[in-house]
């Protein structure tokens, strides 16, 4: 009987802090396991909880580093390198799949030295223009470690364009995935279901997410449409400008949920009528768009490249970046036209199915198997 494929998934980011990369890795692990693949996840962890996955191997405690308008929770410990490599060698993995290989000490450690059993190295690149990631690592080190990567994946054309500026190569574009069925089990918050049109914002309360433009727009729209409500979901401290707008204009019907669980987030998606994300940049993909689309929500989003790789105008409306007046115009169209909202929501739901984790995992498995087949062919040629 053939031994199951063994894959190590390595994250540079704190697995106790929700984020696009860690969520991607966790879902990929689950879906690979369902296909009979043996997986282990190696990541820094600030705190273990009952939600921690059973195959997670904690690798130290992360520190918070400001980067590209956000906060990256990564490990900078060089002392963990030997422990990580030993753990990977002990399990004799066929493939080591690192995510954002240049984002932290853990992922760099995998590429720093040749592993004993010589597993295939696969890397997924998630970052987009503005993160500043590749300016941090010296070019000599970038190219040295990059040459050790066998398979290269980018989550979008925007992510590929960004990494290619520094590390030109052939990249397979395999997008982030989504569990399109879990939203069907969520129930809305009954206290927020009334005659009001609920506009939902979901995202970390960082300046780059553009919340201040949505708040300014909402304050203007509230005069024209008294029957609207703004729901804000996200962890972190609201930026100064957003706080100022709330303090000076004091709009009614702004519901700030703060940090929520994944299950609660799904309930807010089911409660909403419109989803709005006015991010100013640095979004390589926009997984939150897929979540909104799976919930049949029409979308108003800033026209950044990362969002355009997911959304088109059948599912939502694009707005000018950092333009609260244009945001108001686009939101007005959806607030006033329920029929448009419903049709865009249906279109989005259908499109979201193309990004189901089942389809995405199949593409990643094809990437793995293609590399393994190529290595086997090369090995046979060497023997001949």
Model pLDDT for residues 243-269, shown as the tens digit of each residue: 999 999 999 999 999 999 989 999 999
Residues 6+ apart with CB under 8 A from 59: 42, 43, 44, 45, 75, 80, 83, 84, 106
Q: Rounded to an integer, what distance in angstroms lies between the CA atom of residue 41 and that of residue 106?
A: 12
Please report which confidence band the pLDDT of residue 48 belongs to, taking 50, 70 and 90 as the band edges. low
Averaged over 210-216, what is the pLDDT? 97
Q: CA 269 to CA 271: how far, in whole Å?
A: 5
Q: Residue 328 pLDDT more than 60?
A: yes
- The class (CATH top level) of 6-177+356-383 is alpha beta
Task: Tell me the mean pLDDT in the region 288-311.
Answer: 93
**6-177+356-383 shares its CATH topology with 182-354:** yes
Q: pTM surpassing 0.95?
A: no
Average pLDDT over residues 277-294: 87
Beta bridge partners, 197, equal 228
Between residues 211 and 79, the one the model is more confident about: 211
Which tens digit of pLDDT belongs to each residue from 107-161?
889 998 889 889 999 999 998 755 555 666 667 778 889 999 999 999 988 889 9
Dist. CA 335–CA 114, nearest whole Å:
57
- Per-residue pLDDT for 63 more than 80? no
- The pLDDT tens digits for 186-202 are 999 999 999 999 999 99
Measure CA 66 to chain center. Answer: 18
Q: Average pLDDT over the chain, rounded to whole?
A: 90
In the prediction, which pLDDT does 223 show?
A: 95
More confident residue, 174 or 236: 174
Domains of the chain, residue spans: 6-177+356-383, 182-354
Answer whether 75's CB lies under 8 Å from 44's CB: yes
Calculate what percentage of the chain has a pLDDT beyond 90. Answer: 68
Q: How confident is the model at residue 382 (pLDDT cuts 50, 70, 90)?
A: low
Gap between the Cα atoms of 306 and 282, Å rounded: 8
Structure token digits, residue 203: 């995202």
**Confidence check: pLDDT of 232 > 70:** yes
Q: Give the pLDDT score at 306.
A: 84
pLDDT number for residue 279: 92
pLDDT of 378 above 80 = no
Q: pLDDT category, 50, cuts 50, 70, 90? A: very low
The secondary structure of 69-111, three-state, reads CEEEEECCCHHHHHHHHHHHHHHCCCEEEEECCCCCHHHHHHH
Tell me the mean pLDDT in the region 358-379. Answer: 91
Work out the widest C-alpha separation in the chain, in whole angstroms: 78
Considering the chain, what percentage of its residues have pLDDT values greater than 70? Answer: 92
CATH number of this structure's domain 182-354: 3.40.50.2000
pLDDT of residue 190: 96
Q: State the pLDDT at residue 1.
A: 43
Confidence of residue 338 (pLDDT cuts 50, 70, 90): very high
- How sure is the predictor about 81, in pLDDT bands with cuts at 50, 70 and 90? confident
CA dihedral 355, 359, 363, 364 (to 10 degrees): 80
**Predicted confidence band of residue 16 (pLDDT cuts 50, 70, 90):** confident
Q: Is the pLDDT of residue 52 over 70?
A: no
pLDDT of residue 114: 87
Residue bearing tokens 């498995």: 365
Of residues 295 and 68, the one with the higher pLDDT is 295
């Amino acid at each position: 009987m053939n031994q199951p494929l063994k894959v190590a998934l390595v994250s540079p980011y704190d697995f106790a802090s929700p984020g696009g990369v860690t969520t991607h890795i966790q879902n990929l692990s689950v879906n690979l396991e369902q296909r009979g693949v043996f997986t282990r996840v190696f990541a820094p962890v600030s705190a273990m909880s009952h939600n921690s996955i059973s195959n997670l191997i904690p690798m130290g405690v992360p520190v918070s580093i400001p980067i590209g308008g956000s906060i990256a929770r990564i490990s900078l410990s060089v002392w963990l390198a030997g422990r990580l490599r030993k753990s990977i060698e002990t399990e004799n993995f066929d493939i080591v799949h690192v995510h954002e290989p240049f984002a932290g000490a853990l992922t760099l450690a995998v590429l720093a030295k040749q592993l004993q059993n010589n597993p295939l190295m696969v890397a997924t690149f998630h970052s987009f223009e503005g993160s500043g990631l590749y300016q941090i690592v010296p070019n000599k080190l970038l190219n040295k470690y990059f040459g050790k990567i066998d398979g290269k994946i980018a989550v979008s054309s925007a992510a590929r364009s960004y990494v290619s500026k520094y590390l030109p190569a052939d990249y397979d574009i395999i997008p982030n995935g989504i569990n399109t069925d879990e939203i069907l089990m969520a129930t809305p918050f009954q206290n927020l279901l009334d005659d009001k049109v609920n506009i939902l914002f979901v995202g970390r309360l960082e300046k780059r997410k553009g919340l201040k433009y949505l708040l300014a727009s909402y304050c203007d729209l509230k005069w024209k449409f008294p029957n609207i409500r703004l729901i804000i979901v996200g962890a972190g401290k609201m930026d100064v400008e957003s706080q100022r707008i709330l303090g000076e204009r004091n709009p009614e019907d702004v519901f700030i949920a703060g940090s929520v669980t994944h299950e609660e987030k799904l309930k807010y998606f089911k409660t909403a009528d419109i989803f709005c994300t006015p991010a100013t940049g640095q979004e390589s993909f926009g997984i939150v768009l897929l979540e909104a689309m799976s919930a049949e929500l029409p979308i108003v989003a800033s026209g950044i490249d990362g969002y355009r790789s997911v959304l088109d105008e059948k599912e939502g409306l694009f707005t000018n970046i950092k333009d609260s007046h244009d945001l108001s115009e686009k939101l007005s169209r959806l607030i006033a036209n329920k029929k448009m909202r419903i049709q865009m929501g249906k279109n989005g739901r259908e499109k979201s199915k193309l990004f189901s984790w089942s389809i995405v995992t199949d593409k990643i498995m094809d990437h793995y198997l293609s590399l393994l087949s190529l290595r086997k062919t090369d090995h046979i040629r060497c023997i001949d």
